[in-house]
C-alpha cells in the first residue's frame, strides 16, 4: 500500500477538516468586528507583552490539562484531560511520526490520521517504529479511558462528582454521538489493520488478533476506515453548532482575556467568545443553590449561555438568578456569567423603563465631619446595625454624619441588577452629588450591596470602606476599645462582600478578636447565598425560603452561639422564620464587645449617655 | 352643587368616581397570575410606609389599590419612581412579592403600549 494512492475513504475527514478551517476563522472575524477601535488598541498594547506567554501557559493548563476541573473533582478532571490532552497528543505525536517517516513536514493532513492504514507496522526502523507504535497505542488507551468515564457520566454522574448533568439539545446530541464513535472506531480500524498485517502496537495488535479469531478482517478493512473517517468528518461538521465549539473558542478567549479585552458591559467581541467557550460541562448547575434547594433547573448559567448563543434568552431564564456568583466562581472557563446576565437584562429592560427624574439635591449646610456613614435602605430595615455603628463611632470619638438619615437615598444597585441601566445611572448621579457635598474624607457603608456598587459604578473623590474593614482597622488601632469573649460564632460571607468584593479576612479577624470563630461547610469563595438576593426577579417566596433554610442549616451545623454576617439583607433573610441560633451583624457583635465605659475612663463613667446625645443633635 | 348629594352635605368628585362594573381589571388579573402572592395583600400599608421612593409618590399599597380600580394612567406615573430596592417586600407581613409585582407591571404596561 502507498499513501499516494489517495484512498476514497479519506474524503469525509478532509472535507470536514476543511469546513472547520474555513468556518472558524470566518466566524471569529465576524465577532471581532464588534470591537471598537479602542478595543483593538487595548489588544495591541498587550499583545507584545509577557501576557501573551501567560495566555499560552493558561491554554496549556486549562484547554488541555483542565486543571480547574481537577480541582472540582479528580475523576471529572481526568475525563476532560484524557479526552482533550490525549486527542491533542494523538494529533501531535501522529504528525511527528509521519514526519519522521516521510522526512517531510508537508505530508497530506490525513496521513497522520490514517497512518496505520497505510503502514500497519509503522516506521520500518526497529527502534523508532516500535517506539511510536507503543506511544500511539498508549495515547489511544488514554483517550478511550476518558471516553469510558464520559459514558459513565451520562448514566452514573455521581461517580464523577456531578449530581446533575447538562440537558442536551439536538446539535449536542449529534456531535456527542459522533464523538463517542470516533475513538472506538479508530481502535477498531487499527485493530483490523494490525490483525491482517500481523504487526502493530501492543494494544491494537492484541485486539486485532482477538478479532481475527472470529471476524473476516479482510472484508472489514475498508469499511472500518470509512466508518472512522465519516464520524470524524461528521464531528467536524457538527462542532460549530454544538457545545464542542468551545474547544477552539476557549483558546481565543484566553488570549483575549490576557490582552485585557474583558469589559463589565460586555459590549464587544469578548461576550461572543465567552458565550461560545462554554463547554456545557455542567459544573455551574452543580454549585447553584436554585437547583440544589429550590428545584429550579431552567435558568442556570449553562442554560442561560446556551440560549444566549442560539438567540435571546426568555424572561424566566434571564430573571431567575441570584447573581450570587457561585457559578462564575466555579466555572473552569472563568466566564463572566453575572455580567453577561446583567447585560442581557439591560437589553430587555431599558426600553421598558425610562429613567425617572430624580429629585434635585438640596443645598448643603451640614457640619464638617470625618466619616460619612451611608446605611443604605436595607440597613434601615435592620436598625440594630445602624444603632450599633453609631454607638461604635461615637465611642471611638469619630466625627460622623449619616447620609441617608431620612431614608431617601439608594445606591442604585437593585435597579442596575434588574437591568434598568438608565434609571440606575440617574440614581447614582444624585447620590454622588449628595456624597460630594458632605466634605467627608471617608464613606462608610454597612451594606455590601452598596459597597460593591460604590466601588464599581461611582467615581468618588473619597475612599469607600465596608464596616468590616473599618471595624477591623479600629480594633487594630484601638485594641483597648474592645474586649474578647468566649462567644462561638460562625460567619456567613455575603455574596457581594466575599465573591463580589474579595473581603473574607477582615470579618473573620473581628470575630477572632472578640470571640471564637466556628467554621462552616461552605466558606469564603464557596460561601452559599442567603437566598435573599434582590437580583432574582422570578423566584417565589416559598422557593427563597428553601434556599435560606438550607444555607442556615450549614451555618449552624457547628452549633455556634451566633450566626454572624455583615450584610443587612443577609441578616434580615436569615432572621425571618423560627431560628434557634440568633443571627447578628458584625457591627452588633462589635458593639456588644465594646469595653464598658467605666473600665476605659473610670472618671467619666455616667457621662457616656450625655456624649452620645450630643452627637445625635449634631446630625 | 346639585342633585341629591346636596341634601346630605357631601358630593362625589368626578375624577374619583369609580365604576367597578366597567373598570379594566385585566392587568391586575394577569399580575396575580404571574405573582400569585399579590392576592394575599390586605392593604395594611407597611410597604408604603417603608418605601425608599415615598417622597416621589411611590406607594405599593396605593398602586395595588389603583390597579384593582383599573386606574392605569396614575399607576404608570407612580411606579416610574420605584427603585426596585425591595424594602417593601421585606416588610410585608403577608409575604407579597411586591417587588416582583412592580417589575412585572412595568413590563406589562410597556407591552400594552
Ligand atoms: S458556564 Fe462554565 S461551568 Fe457552566 S457549563 Fe459553561 S463552562 Fe461549565
Ligand atoms: S449566579 Fe448563583 S443563582 Fe445565578 S445561576 Fe449562578 S449559581 Fe445560580
Ligand atoms: S444596595 Fe440595596 S440595600 Fe444597600 S442601600 Fe442600595 S438599595 Fe439599599
Ligand atoms: S405590606 Fe404587603 S400586605 Fe401590606 S399593603 Fe403592602 S403588599 Fe399589601
Ligand atoms: S421596591 Fe419600589 S416600592 Fe418597594 S420600597 Fe423600594 S422603591 Fe418603594
Dump pLDDT digits (tens) for A52-70: 999 999 999 999 999 999 9
CB A128 within 8 A of CB A202: no
Chain B residues touching residue A380 (CB < 8 angstroms)? 50, 87
In percent, the amount of chain A with pLDDT more than 90 equals 72
User: Can you give the pLDDT at residue A109?
Assistant: 84
B44: in domain? yes
Same-domain status, A388 and A524: no
Per-residue pLDDT at B5 exceeds 70: no
How far is the C-alpha of B79 from the C-alpha of B106, rounded, in Å? Answer: 8
Among A473, A489, A524, which residue terminates a domain?
Answer: A473
Does residue B51 belong to any structural domain of this protein?
A: yes
Domain assignment present for B62:
yes
Q: What is the mean pLDDT of the segment spanning A187-208?
A: 92
Contact A377 B85 (CB under 8 A): yes
Q: Which of B31, B42, B44 to mutate to test the pocket of ligand 4 (most atoms within 8 A of CB)?
A: B44
Residue A344 has which C-alpha cell?
Answer: 442581557
For B85, the closest of A353, A359, A410 (CB atoms) is A410
pLDDT of residue A616 exceeding 60, the answer is no
- The yes-or-no verdict on residue A236 having pLDDT over 50 is yes
Helix or strand run (H / E) with residue A448:
helix A448-457
Judge whether residue A493 has pLDDT over 70.
yes
Higher pLDDT among residues A503 and A616, named by residue:
A503
CB pair distance less than 8 Å for B90 and A377 = no
Is A610's pLDDT higher than 50?
no
The minimum CA-CA distance between A356 and chain B, rounded to whole Å, is 6
Average pLDDT (A223-234) is: 96
The enclosing domain of B64 has a CATH number of 1.10.1060.10
Residue range of the domain that includes A530: 480-592
Report the domain count for chain A.
4
Sorted by sequence, the CB contacts under 8 Å of residue B52 that are 6+ apart come out as A377, A407, A408, A409, A410, B58, B83, B85, B87
Question: Do residues A619 and A401 touch, judged by C-beta distance below 8 A?
Answer: yes
Retrieve residue A359's grid coordinates.
Answer: 429629585
Place of cell 468528518: A233
pLDDT band at A362 (very low <50, low <70, confident <90, very high): low
* DSSP 8-state assignment for residue A363: P
Position A60 in a domain: no
Residues A286/A162, Cβ–Cβ less than 8 Å:
yes
For the stretch B78-111, pLDDT in tens is 888 888 888 899 999 999 999 999 999 988 888 8
pLDDT of residue B54: 86
Contact across the interface for B107 and A352, Cβ inside 8 Å? yes
Measured between CB atoms, which of B84, B95, B110 is closest to A415? B84
Q: Of A25-39, A220-234, A339-353, A604-618, which range is least confident?
A: A604-618
A492 and A526 together in one domain:
yes
**Confidence check: pLDDT of A582 > 70:** yes
pLDDT at B6: 53
Cβ contacts of A70-75, under 8 Å, gap ≥ 24: A72/A161, A72/A283, A72/A330, A72/A332, A73/A160, A73/A161, A73/A162, A75/A149, A75/A159, A75/A160, A75/A161
Q: What is the mean pLDDT of residues A604-615?
A: 44
Q: Closest ligand 5 atom to the C-alpha of B84? A: 1
- What is the per-residue pLDDT for A601? 62
Residue-wise pLDDT tens digits, A559-572: 999 999 999 999 99
Instruction: Please tell me the predicted confidence (pLDDT) of residue A422.
Output: 84
A459 and A496 together in one domain: no
pLDDT tens, A275-330? 999 999 999 999 999 999 999 999 999 999 999 999 889 999 999 999 999 999 99
In a domain, B6, yes or no: no
Give the burial class of A40: count Cβ atoms within 10 A of its Cβ; 0-12 exposed, 13-18 middle, 19 or more buried: middle
Q: Tell me whether residues B55 and A408 touch, CB distance under 8 A.
A: yes
Q: What pLDDT is recorded for position A361?
A: 63
| A342-361 pLDDT tens trace | 999 988 887 676 666 666 66
Quote the pLDDT of residue A1.
42
Q: What is the pLDDT of residues A437-459, one digit of tens each?
A: 888 899 999 999 999 999 999 99
Global pTM? 0.88
Percent of chain A with pLDDT over 70: 92
Average pLDDT, chain B: 83
Shared domain for A465 and A495, answered yes or no, is no
Question: Does residue A323 form part of some domain?
Answer: yes
> B89 CA to middle of ligand 5, Å?
8
For atom 1 of ligand 2, the residue with the nearest CA is A323
The pLDDT, as a whole number, for residue A430 is: 86
Q: Which residues of A touch B (CB under 8 A)?
A: 315, 349, 351-354, 356, 359, 377-378, 380-381, 407-410, 412, 414-415, 418, 420, 423, 427, 532, 534, 537-538, 540-541, 569, 572
pLDDT of amino acid B7: 56
For residue A263, what pLDDT band results from cuts at 50, 70 and 90? confident
ipTM of this predicted structure: 0.80
pLDDT of residue A39: 94
- What residues of A are in contact with residue B95 (Cβ under 8 Å)? 541
Q: Give yes or no: residues A388 and A446 share one domain.
A: yes
The pLDDT mean for chain A works out to 90
**Per-residue cell: A580:** 434557634
Q: Are residues A199 and A295 in the same domain?
A: no
Residue B11 lies in a domain: no
Examine the domain organization and report whether A73 and A156 are in the same domain.
Answer: yes
For residue A383, give the CATH number of its domain: 3.40.50.1860
Q: Are residues A486 and A529 in the same domain?
A: yes
Classify residue A492: in a domain, yes or no: yes
Half-sphere exposure for A361 (CA within 13 Å, toward CB): 19
Atom number in ligand 1 closest to CA A337 = 1
Alpha carbon distance, N-terminus to C-terminus of chain A: 94
Interchain pair B110, A352: CB under 8 A: yes
Q: What is the distance in angstroms between the Cα of A223 and the nearest Cα belonging to chain B?
A: 58
B58 in contact with ligand 5, CB cutoff 6 A? yes
Q: Are A80 and A333 in contact (CB under 8 A)?
A: no
C-alpha distances in angstroms, A448 versus A54, A376, A379?
A: 33, 10, 10
Residue A106 vs residue A144, higher pLDDT: A144
| Average pLDDT rounded to a whole number, residues A582-593 | 96
Secondary element (H or E) of residue A444: strand A442-445
Same-domain check for residues A270 and A294: yes
The average pLDDT across A155-161 equals 88
Q: Which candidate, B27, B101, B95, places its Cα nearest to that of B59? A: B101
Ligand nearest to the CA of A331: 1
CB contact under 8 A, A410 and B83: yes
Q: Is residue B78 part of a domain?
A: yes
- A549 Cβ neighbours under 8 A, 6+ residues apart: A293, A577
Quick one: cell of A217? 478482517
Is position A55 within any domain?
no
Which domain does B94 fall in, by range?
25-112
Greater confidence (A508 vs A127) lies with: A508
Residue A500: nearest ligand to its CA?
Answer: 2
End-to-end Cα distance, chain B: 38
Q: Kindly list the residues from chain A whose CB atom is less than 8 angstroms away from the CB atom of residue B50.
A: 380-381
Q: Indicate whether A406 pLDDT > 90.
A: no
Q: Looking at residue B77, what is its pLDDT?
A: 85
In a domain, A598, yes or no: no
Chain B nearest-CA distance from A406, in A, is 9
- Is residue A11's pLDDT more than 90? yes
Cβ pair B52:A423 closer than 8 A: no
Ligand 3 touching residue B90 (CB < 6 A): no
Query: Cell digits for A455?
Result: 466601588
* A440 and A495 belong to one structural domain: no
- Claim to verify: residue A417 and residue A530 sit in the same structural domain: no
Give the total number of structural domains in chain B: 1
Whole-angstrom Cα distance, residue A170 to residue A182? 19
- Give the three cell numbers for residue A338: 453575572
Gap from A340 CA to chain B (nearest CA, Å): 20
The CATH number that applies at residue A484 is 3.40.50
**Pair A336, A235 in one domain:** no
Which residues does chain A have within 8 Å of residue B54's beta carbon, measured at their own beta carbons? 408
The region of weakest confidence among A112-126, A398-412, A591-605 is A591-605
Q: Which atom of ligand 1 is nearest to the CA of A305?
A: 1
Determine whether the shortest distance from the Cβ of A447 to ligand 3 is under 6 A: yes
Chosen from A323, A374, A408, A434 to mutate, greatest number of chain B CBs within 10 A: A408
Q: Is A373 helix (H, G, I), strand (E, B) or coil?
A: strand
Angstroms from B27 CA to nearest CA on chain A: 16
Residue nearest atom 5 in ligand 2 by C-alpha distance: A300
Query: Distance (Å) from the C-alpha of residue B13 to the closest C-alpha of chain A?
Result: 30
Cβ-contact A282, A275 below 8 angstroms? no
What's the pLDDT at A598? 60
Buried b (16+ CB within 10 A) or exposed e, A578-608: eeebebbbbbbbbbbbbeebeeeeeeeeeeb
For residue B7, is it within any domain?
no
Give yes or no for residue A510 having a pLDDT over 90: yes
- Of B61, B79, B83, B100, which is best to mutate to test ligand 5, by the most ligand atoms within 8 angstroms of its C-beta? B83
Q: Is A367 a residue whose pLDDT tops 70?
A: no
Query: What is the sign of the dihedral through the CA atoms of A371, A372, A373 and A374?
Result: negative
A246 part of a folded domain? no
* Ligand 2 pocket check for A321: Cβ under 6 Å: yes
Task: Identify the band that residue A609 occupies on the pLDDT scale cut at 50, 70 and 90.
Answer: very low
Amino acid at each position: 500500500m502507498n499513501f499516494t494512492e489517495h484512498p476514497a475513504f479519506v474524503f469525509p475527514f478532509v472535507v470536514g477538516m476543511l469546513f472547520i478551517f474555513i468556518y472558524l476563522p470566518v466566524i471569529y472575524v465576524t465577532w471581532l468586528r464588534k470591537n471598537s477601535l479602542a478595543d483593538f488598541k487595548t489588544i495591541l498594547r498587550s499583545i507584545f507583552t509577557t501576557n501573551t506567554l501567560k495566555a499560552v501557559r493558561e491554554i496549556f493548563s486549562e484547554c488541555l490539562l483542565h486543571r480547574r476541573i481537577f480541582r472540582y473533582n479528580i475523576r471529572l478532571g481526568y475525563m476532560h484531560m484524557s479526552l482533550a490532552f490525549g486527542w491533542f497528543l494523538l494529533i501531535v505525536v501522529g504528525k511527528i511520526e509521519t514526519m519522521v517517516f516521510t522526512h517531510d513536514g508537508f505530508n497530506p493532513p490525513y496521513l497522520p490520521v490514517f497512518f496505520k492504514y497505510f503502514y500497519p507496522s509503522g516506521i520500518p526502523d526497529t527502534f523508532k517504529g516500535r517506539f511510536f507504535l507503543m506511544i500511539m497505542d498508549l495515547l489511544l488507551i488514554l483517550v478511550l479511558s476518558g471516553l469510558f468515564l464520559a459514558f459513565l457520566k451520562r448514566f452514573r454522574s455521581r461517580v464523577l462528582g456531578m449530581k446533575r448533568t447538562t440537558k442536551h439539545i439536538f446539535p449536542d446530541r449529534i456531535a456527542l454521538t459522533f464523538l463517542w464513535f470516533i475513538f472506538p472506531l479508530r481502535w477498531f480500524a487499527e485493530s483490523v489493520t494490525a490483525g491482517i498485517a500481523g504487526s502493530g502496537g501492543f494494544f491494537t495488535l492484541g485486539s486485532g488478533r482477538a478479532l481475527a479469531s472470529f471476524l473476516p478482517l479482510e472484508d472489514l478493512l475498508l469499511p472500518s476506515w470509512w466508518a472512522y473517517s465519516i464520524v470524524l468528518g461528521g464531528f467536524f461538521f457538527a462542532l460549530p453548532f454544538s457545545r464542542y465549539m468551545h474547544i477552539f473558542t476557549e483558546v481565543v478567549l484566553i488570549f483575549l482575556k490576557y490582552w485585557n479585552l474583558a469589559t463589565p458591559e460586555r459590549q464587544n467581541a469578548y461576550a461572543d467568545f465567552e458565550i461560545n467557550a462554554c463547554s456545557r460541562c455542567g459544573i455551574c448547575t452543580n454549585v447553584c443553590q436554585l437547583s440544589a434547594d429550590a428545584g429550579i433547573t431552567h435558568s442556570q448559567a449553562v442554560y442561560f449561555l446556551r440560549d444566549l448563543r442560539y438567540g435571546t434568552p426568555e424572561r424566566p431564564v434571564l430573571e431567575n438568578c441570584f447573581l450570587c456568583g457561585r457559578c462564575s466562581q466555579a466555572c473552569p472557563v472563568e466566564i463572566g456569567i453575572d455580567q453577561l446576565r446583567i447585560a442581557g437584562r439591560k437589553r430587555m429592560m431599558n426600553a421598558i423603563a425610562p429613567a425617572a427624574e430624580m429629585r434635585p439635591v438640596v443645598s448643603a449646610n451640614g457640619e464638617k465631619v470625618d466619616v460619612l456613614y451611608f446605611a443604605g435602605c436595607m440597613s434601615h430595615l435592620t436598625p440594630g446595625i445602624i444603632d450599633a455603628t453609631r454607638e461604635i463611632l461615637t465611642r471611638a470619638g469619630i466625627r460622623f454624619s449619616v447620609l441617608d438619615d431620612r431614608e431617601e437615598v439608594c445606591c442604585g444597585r437593585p435597579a442596575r441588577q434588574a437591568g434598568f441601566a438608565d434609571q440606575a445611572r440617574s440614581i447614582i448621579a444624585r447620590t454622588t452629588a449628595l456624597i460630594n457635598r458632605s466634605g467627608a474624607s471617608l464613606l462608610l457603608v454597612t451594606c455590601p450591596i452598596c459597597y460593591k456598587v460604590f466601588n464599581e459604578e461611582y467615581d468618588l473623590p473619597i475612599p469607600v470602606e465596608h464596616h468590616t474593614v473599618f471595624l477591623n482597622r479600629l480594633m487594630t488601632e484601638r485594641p483597648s476599645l474592645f474586649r474578647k469573649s468566649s462567644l462561638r460564632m460562625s460567619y456567613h460571607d455575603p455574596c457581594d462582600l466575599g465573591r463580589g468584593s474579595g473581603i473574607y479576612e477582615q470579618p473573620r479577624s473581628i470575630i477572632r478578636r472578640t470571640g471564637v470563630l466556628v467554621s462552616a461547610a461552605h466558606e469564603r469563595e464557596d460561601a452559599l447565598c442567603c437566598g435573599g438576593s434582590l437580583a432574582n426577579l422570578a423566584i417565589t417566596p416559598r422557593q427563597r425560603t428553601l434556599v435560606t433554610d438550607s444555607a442556615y442549616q450549614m451555618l449552624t451545623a457547628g452549633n455556634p452561639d451566633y450566626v454572624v454576617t455583615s450584610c443587612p439583607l443577609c441578616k434580615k433573610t436569615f432572621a425571618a422564620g423560627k431560628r434557634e441560633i440568633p443571627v447578628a451583624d458584625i457591627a452588633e457583635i462589635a458593639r456588644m464587645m465594646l469595653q464598658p465605659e467605666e473600665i476605659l475612663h473610670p472618671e467619666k463613667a455616667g457621662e457616656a449617655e450625655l456624649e452620645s446625645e450630643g452627637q445625635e443633635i449634631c446630625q | 352643587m346639585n342633585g341629591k348629594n346636596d341634601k346630605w352635605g357631601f358630593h362625589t368628585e368626578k375624577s374619583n368616581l369609580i365604576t367597578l362594573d366597567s373598570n379594566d381589571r385585566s392587568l391586575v388579573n394577569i399580575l396575580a397570575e404571574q405573582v400569585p402572592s399579590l392576592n394575599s395583600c390586605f392593604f395594611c400599608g407597611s410597604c408604603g410606609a417603608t418605601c425608599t421612593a415615598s417622597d416621589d409618590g411611590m406607594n405599593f399599597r396605593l398602586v395595588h389599590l389603583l390597579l384593582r380600580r383599573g386606574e392605569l394612567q396614575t399607576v404608570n406615573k407612580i411606579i416610574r419612581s420605584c427603585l426596585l430596592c425591595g424594602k417593601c417586600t421585606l416588610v410585608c407581613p403577608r409575604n407579597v412579592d411586591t417587588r416582583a409585582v412592580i417589575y412585572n407591571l412595568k413590563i406589562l404596561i410597556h407591552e400594552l403600549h
